[in-house]
Amino acid sequence: MEITGGCLCRQVRFRITAKPMAMRLCWCRLCQYLAAGNATVNVVFPSSSITIEGQLTDYRSIAESGNVMHRRFCPKCGTPLFSAAESRPHLIIVRNGALDDTALITPDATIWTTQAPEWAWIDEALPQHAGQPPPVA
């Protein structure tokens, strides 16, 4: 199994050698900044399975839960690529738009629905979490 991806300007490229563990749509307020006002589309992989080439900028922030989060993006074109929590170093979250195949899997759940604007389209067929769901593994 090899999944590939990168940023818009192709300065950053990555390879993943494991299957995706989950895909979630996140409406938290921070994600709305990253996704132009919509939910982010996030695919979870084991962090040991990824090889990254190119330069990234790391934006560090502290979540409401107290988790220290690292969000990495391309400093040249600004494409959001990865997110990771210091409390869960074995997982890496890849922004679905950075995958070469954006139809690799379909979403499992919508999270942080309480922070979504009223007009947000949320798929009623998917499980919803008002805030942060339990970790995938």
CB 130 within 8 A of CB 47: no
Closest distance to Zn ion from the beta carbon of 99 (Å): 14
Closest distance to Zn ion from the beta carbon of 77 (Å): 3
31 binds Zn ion (CB under 5 A): yes
**3-state secondary structure at position 31:** helix
Closest distance to Zn ion from the beta carbon of 1 (Å): 25
Count of residues for the chain?
137
Stretch that binds Zn ion, among 5-13, 59-67, 84-92, 114-122 (CB under 5 A): 5-13
Nearer to Zn ion, 77 or 126 (CB): 77
Stretch that binds Zn ion, among 14-22, 68-76, 98-106, 126-134 (CB under 5 A): 68-76
Applying the rule CB under 5 A, the residues between 77 and 106 that interact with Zn ion are: 77
28 binds Zn ion (CB under 5 A): yes
DSSP state of 113: G
In the numeric block, which tokens belong to residue 134?
A: 């339990």
Integer Rg of the chain from CA? 14
Stretch that binds Zn ion, among 30-38, 45-53, 65-73, 121-129 (CB under 5 A): 30-38
Q: Is the dihedral of CA 109, 83, 59, 52 positive or negative?
A: negative
Count CB atoms within 10 A of the CB of residue 50.
17
